[in-house]
Amino acid sequence: MNLKQLEVFLWVAELKGFTKAAKRLYMSQPAVSFQIQSLEEFLGVKLFWRNEKNVILTEAGKLLFEQAKQIVAHFYKIKSVVNDLKELKTGSLTIGASTIPGEYILPKLIGDFRRQFPGIQINVRIAGSAQVEKWLLNREIDLGFCGTLISGKEIECLPFLTDHLVLIAPVDHPWEAGGEIKISDLVKEKFVLRESGSGTRKTFETSLARSNISKEQLSIVMEMGSTRAVITAVEAGLGVSVVSFLAARDPLLLGLIKEIRVHNLDLNRKLYVIRDQSWMSNFAAETFHSFIFTQENNLLFS
Smallest distance, Å, CB 285 to a copy of itself? 8
| Residue 283 interface partner, choices DNA, a copy of itself, none, CB cut-off 5-8 Å depending on type | a copy of itself
Q: Which of 59, 176, 195, 250 binds a copy of itself (CB under 8 A)?
A: 59
Smallest distance, Å, CB 46 to a copy of itself? 6
Based on its alpha-carbon atoms, the radius of gyration of the chain, rounded to whole angstroms, reads: 32
Q: Residue 202 or residue 275: which is nearer to DNA going by CB?
A: 275
Stretch that binds a copy of itself, among 70-78, 98-106, 203-211, 250-258 (CB under 8 A): 70-78
Smallest distance, Å, CB 17 to DNA? 4
Query: Is the CB of residue 142 less than 8 Å from the CB of residue 284?
Result: yes
| Residue 138 interface partner, choices a copy of itself, DNA, none, CB cut-off 5-8 Å depending on type | none
∠ Cα 96 158 156 (to 5°): 75
Binding site residues, DNA, CB under 7 A: 2, 4, 17-20, 26-31, 33-38, 50, 52-53, 55
| Residue 81 interface partner, choices a copy of itself, DNA, none, CB cut-off 5-8 Å depending on type | a copy of itself
Distance of CA 252 to the CA centre of its chain: 31
d(CA 135, CA 279): 14
Report CA-CA distances (Å) from 119 to 71, 76, 87, 89, 235: 26, 21, 10, 5, 42
Q: Which of 37, 77, 197, 249 binds a copy of itself (CB under 8 A)?
A: 77
Site string for a copy of itself, 132-171 (x = CB under 8 A): -------x--------------------------------
| Residue 300 interface partner, choices a copy of itself, DNA, none, CB cut-off 5-8 Å depending on type | none
For a copy of itself, the binding residues in 278-297 under the rule CB under 8 A are 278, 280-284
Binding of a copy of itself at residue 299 (CB under 8 A)?
no
Binding of a copy of itself at residue 195 (CB under 8 A)?
no
Number of residues that bind a copy of itself (CB under 8 A): 42
∠ Cα 268 104 154 (to 5°): 70
| Residue 26 interface partner, choices DNA, a copy of itself, none, CB cut-off 5-8 Å depending on type | DNA
d(CA 241, CA 220): 9
d(CA 106, CA 112): 10
| Residue 35 interface partner, choices DNA, a copy of itself, none, CB cut-off 5-8 Å depending on type | DNA
Smallest distance, Å, CB 118 to a copy of itself? 18
> Environment class of residue 188 by beta-carbon count within 10 Å: exposed (0-12), middle (13-18) or buried (19+)?
exposed
d(CA 222, CA 240): 10
Residue ranges binding a copy of itself (CB under 8 A): 1-4, 42-46, 49, 51, 56-61, 63-64, 67-68, 70-71, 74-75, 77-79, 81-83, 85-86, 91-92, 139, 278, 280-284
